[in-house]
Amino acid sequence: MSKQQEPKLSDENDADHPASVFLKHIAALDAGDKAILKRVAGCTIADARGAMSVFYRILPHEVPQWDRDVYFLVATLYCLESTSPLRHKGNFGTTMRRVRRNFDSKSLDRRMNALIDSRLEEGELGYRLRQAVKLAYSKNVAVDWRRLVIDLTHWSHTNHYIQQQWVEAYYGKEYGKKNTSNDNNEEKQQGDA
């Protein structure tokens, strides 16, 4: 079985990518608009009372209809942090691996497994991601928001390759990858964020 390729992230400096434009629009929102999105964190657009007008004002026109729930979810999660969100590079499995360093690993392993098994279409993923993002913030661990948007647009792929990548990133160092210099680099980047 061939390994599925990661979603194309394009150039990291690609300011024209819809995810990059969207994140800039969220960051530019005033406190009142961010509070509106924060109140519906983890909800779907259909369940979000009062937040649609804020969301559609900042949504790039190129985002296809079928990806709008993902963009909405990320907008609400981004607004959970009251200050400028921390930043790092890597998928959400990497984020949770960093949280795991300072947390009961068995409990977090169960949360991660539930997150990976969650379905986007049923709203369960939004609920579980909201909890995980809040936990990451509480441990001062950053989220790569652009990567999260792109990963979630591929979440429902039949091969579940995004979920596989997250699990591999989450458990990777313990299960075969013994490169500790990578962990040291991540810690240094985290401190620089």
Q: Which domain range does residue 137 map to? A: 92-192
Residues 74 and 117 in one domain: no
What pLDDT sits at residue 46? 87
How far apart (Å, rounded) are the C-alpha atoms in residues 15 and 171?
A: 32
Residues 102 and 184 in one domain: yes
* Nearest residue to 111 via CA among 70, 153, 45, 166: 166
Spatial neighbors of 3 by CB under 8 A, at least 6 apart, are: none
**Residue 140 maps to which CATH number?**
1.10.520.40
Q: Is 65 buried (19+), middle (13-18) or exposed (0-12) by CB count in 10 A?
A: exposed
Residues 70 and 111 in one domain: no
Over the chain (193 residues), the average pLDDT of each successive run of 10 is 47 74 94 95 87 95 94 94 67 94 86 94 90 91 92 94 96 55 46 46
Report how many domains make up the chain.
2
What pLDDT sits at residue 180? 42
- pLDDT tens readout for residues 112-142: 999 999 998 888 999 999 999 999 988 888 8
Residues 97 and 150 in one domain: yes
What pLDDT sits at residue 188? 46
What pLDDT sits at residue 109? 93
Phi and psi at 11, nearest 5°, equal -65, 135
Residues 188 and 98 in one domain: yes
How far apart (Å, rounded) are the C-alpha atoms in residues 7 and 161?
A: 9
Residue listed under structure tokens 């009372």? 49
Phi and psi at 123, nearest 5°, equal 85, -10
Residues 32 and 63 in one domain: yes
| End position of a domain, from candidates 49, 78, 107 | 78
Residue 1 has what DSSP assignment?
-
| End position of a domain, from candidates 31, 50, 78 | 78
Ramachandran assignment for 176, one of left (phi > 0), alpha (psi -120 to 50 degrees), beta (any other): left
Structural domain includes residue 87? no
Residues 45 and 109 in one domain: no
| End position of a domain, from candidates 51, 78, 105 | 78
Structural domain includes residue 184? yes
What pLDDT sits at residue 85? 54
How far apart (Å, rounded) are the C-alpha atoms in residues 50 and 102?
A: 37
What pLDDT sits at residue 86? 57
pTM exceeding 0.85: no
Contact 88, 193 (CB under 8 A): yes
How far apart (Å, rounded) are the C-alpha atoms in residues 118 and 126?
A: 9
Residue 46 has what DSSP assignment?
G
Q: Is 109 buried (19+), middle (13-18) or exposed (0-12) by CB count in 10 A?
A: middle
Residues 117 and 183 in one domain: yes
